[in-house]
Chain A
């Protein structure tokens, strides 16, 4: 406990000093940029040292079919959150699909390992409480980079915290629940990283500023998810054609 407090104090002090010493440039929507950049650098080092090698090993030793089963299982555990988000967003058809998928895959799909619902024509879609808050007009708030977790914003962080309450783990009791929770988090993180090995390498190769690049990707991808992938062409920016 003492160690944690000391570590926290040191981190706060380091970030405060960094913030003071940093030039006075700020980007709109990212008032904590100096602090975020420090955490981003830490995350990048951790990724290169631990997560990326783990993801590569996972990809090498786990057959594609097994990885698919693991991804299906993890996605199925997310269904209650998606269902609640669908309902709160007033999308009954999508909520019904999520419920049907959860029921079919949990039973016929052996706990979600097989995506039987997809074979039956019920495709998965993704929703979360951060998106739900956005559809209710809650602003994104400042962009945040969390240690080890990565990019988010104040609204998505609130949504993520609330999601813990809707996770199946929160309303079930069984022996080894804590271990299962940790294993789920670890496997989910490694599997997601394995899925994006090529993309992240490409970003790192082409980027002019990796921090800005990831922030831009995060903001655009979240905006697209909130709109369910539908582009309102009138929201697109104008191009200046003056020569």
Chain B
């Protein structure tokens, strides 16, 4: 009986270990599929005015991406040097900036056809999903978009997007660390610059 239980447990563990990468990757694919479909549907919803569209779209973005994880990433080597208060202020300013950037980059989309091509797992809980977008504003062309999806606290979240060969979080890291380096390693300098770009940002420090 005991041997049977041990055997069953081993088989279950092995099955779980072998199948978890596939499941994780499939989870990433369906997450991207669902979230992009929801975002495109908001952008193409003619019953919403611009302000409502912007509000709904930003809420959707926050459910899709993990802005805190991205904020730490774009700080690069300075993330480890910043204290908790600096990190919190930076995350706040970065979130407002990132939302406005993604809003302006993606607001031209709406009626496009979105398709998942494949996915590749980097390690368990870390996948890249390859998609194509065509039709609508694409002027007869098809563009590849890659999504980096991490499993964060058991939930999939997008942390980077590659369009036309450019990973946006990596690009933002180059800009943010550039500002901090210019200001002698002062993280708050980047927070101030980001905050100045958003009318909603009220930064005191």
Chain A residues in the interface with B (C-beta under 8 A): 23, 25, 27, 202, 205-209, 212-213, 215-217, 220-221, 223-225, 229, 231, 233-234, 236-237, 239-243
Contacts and interface: CB of A to CB of B under 8 A. Distances in A.
B23 interface: no
B175 interface: yes
Contacts of A225: 165
Contacts of A217: 166, 171
Interface string B145-185: 01010101000000110101111001100111011011000
A206 B103 CA distance: 11
A216 B175 contact: yes
A209 B190 CA distance: 11
A220 B178 contact: no
Given A207-B175, A208-B179, A233-B120, A221 B165 contact: yes
Interface residues of B, number: 37
A23 B182 contact: yes
Of the listed residues A27, A208, A224, the one surrounded by the most CB atoms of chain B closer than 10 A to its CB is A208
A237 B165 contact: no
Contacts of B67: none
Nearest to A33: B178
A223 B165 CA distance: 8
Interface of B: 68-70, 72-73, 79, 101, 104-105, 120-122, 128, 144, 146, 148, 150, 152, 159-160, 162, 164-167, 170-171, 174-176, 178-179, 181-182, 193-194, 197
A208 B122 contact: no
Contacts of A202: 104-105
Contact of A231 (B101, B121, B146, B164): B146
A27 B180 CA distance: 11
Nearest to B75: A240
Contacts of B144: 229
A224 B165 CA distance: 5
Contact of B122 (A206, A233, A243): A233
A197 to B, nearest CB: 14
A209 B178 contact: yes
Contact of B148 (A213, A220, A236): A236
Contacts of A27: 178, 181
Contacts of A233: 120-122, 128
Contact of B73 (A229, A231, A240): A240
A23 B72 CA distance: 27
Of the listed residues A229, A236, A240, the one surrounded by the most CB atoms of chain B closer than 10 A to its CB is A236
23 contacts: A208-B176, A208-B193, A212-B175, A213-B174, A213-B175, A216-B175, A220-B166, A220-B167, A220-B171, A224-B166, A225-B165, A229-B144, A229-B165, A231-B146, A236-B148, A236-B167, A237-B170, A239-B150, A239-B159, A240-B69, A240-B73, A241-B69, A242-B72
